[in-house]
């Protein structure tokens, strides 16, 4: 969101300004400050200097809203002189004081469940733990992986033409679309530890030959119509993937 982007922009701005005396004030007057530090992908940002962009920011957890970072923080305006202090206090809040109680509670819960075995987690690096619990950041699969680890039902087999087209499409997908495909079929944009073999994704025919592919994410099951060509399959699959954002996050009425 904009607030989080602003906090990150301030951190980068202060880091650049620390490289030389007077550098921070010089950067703050740059009319393209917002475009240098706030530019999110694919979204144009108007060119304004720091003082204009930060005119409504205060010493709150993200500069715009949330917990005050100091006494009277909700009333204290952010400017170029106070930017380093703001970044320091915000970093402390997000990485230490603001999450300390939650981390202590998590640690106690971990020991309640694992007992003395919890100490074995220290054998892993943060990156290794992230991969174990959340999967790999990048989605890797090969032609061999797709041929060996996809499952089939309802009359589909590894030699069914639509299945072959699907494997071809999955193989040429770029990383962002691979993640969206996984989110579509499993409600998670990452492969589990062990990769495609452990995902146990199964492909089944759908009787609606003209419809979009659909999924049963809780069962890791994709229902793929018997399209007449690879081009039609690619078009419909991409439409289904890109139109499905948040499909597993809907709030049903009580």
Give the residue numbers marked as catalytic: 218
E strand or H helix at 67, and its extent?
Answer: none
Distance of CA 183 to the CA centre of its chain: 11
Taking Cα atoms as reference points, which of 200, 209, 247, 204 lies closest to residue 227?
209
Structure tokens at 12: 């980068």
d(CA 3, CA 184): 28
What are the φ and ψ backbone dihedral angles of 216, each rounded to 5 degrees?
Answer: -120, 90
Contact 143, 171 (CB under 8 A): yes
The count of residues in the chain is 254
d(CA 182, CA 245): 11
Provide the H-helix boundaries in 73-216: 83-92, 100-114, 126-134, 143-149, 161-172, 175-186, 196-199
User: Which residues fall within 8 angstroms of residue 237, CB to CB, at 6 or more apart?
Assistant: 166, 169, 181, 213, 224
First and final C-alpha spacing in the chain: 30
Contact 90, 61 (CB under 8 A): yes
Contact 207, 226 (CB under 8 A): no
Structure tokens at 40: 């999110």
């Amino acid at each position: 969101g904009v607030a989080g982007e602003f906090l990150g922009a301030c951190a980068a701005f202060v880091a650049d300004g620390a490289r030389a005396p007077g550098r921070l004030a010089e950067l703050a007057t740059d009319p393209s400050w917002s475009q240098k530090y706030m530019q999110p992908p694919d979204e144009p940002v108007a060119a304004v200097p720091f003082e204009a962009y930060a005119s409504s920011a205060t010493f709150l957890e993200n500069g715009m809203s949330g917990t005050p970072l100091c006494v009277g923080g909700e009333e204290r305006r952010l400017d170029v002189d106070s930017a380093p202090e703001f970044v320091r206090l915000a970093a402390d809040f997000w990485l230490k004081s603001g999450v300390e109680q939650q981390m202590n509670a998590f640690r106690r819960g971990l020991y309640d469940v694992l007992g003395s075995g919890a100490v074995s987690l220290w054998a892993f690096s943060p990156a290794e733990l992230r991969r174990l619990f959340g999967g790999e950041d990048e989605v890797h699969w090969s032609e061999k992986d797709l041929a060996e680890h996809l499952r089939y039902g309802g009359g589909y087999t590894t030699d069914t033409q639509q299945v072959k087209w699907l494997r071809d499409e999955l193989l040429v997908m770029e990383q962002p679309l691979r993640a969206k495909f996984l989110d579509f079929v499993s409600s998670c944009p990452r492969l589990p530890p062990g990769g495609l073999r452990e995902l146990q994704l199964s492909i089944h025919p759908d009787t609606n030959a003209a419809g979009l592919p659909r999924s049963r994410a809780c069962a890791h099951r994709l229902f793929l119509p018997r399209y007449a060509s690879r081009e039609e399959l690619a078009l419909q699959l991409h439409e289904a993937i890109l139109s499905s954002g948040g499909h597993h996050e809907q709030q049903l009425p009580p």
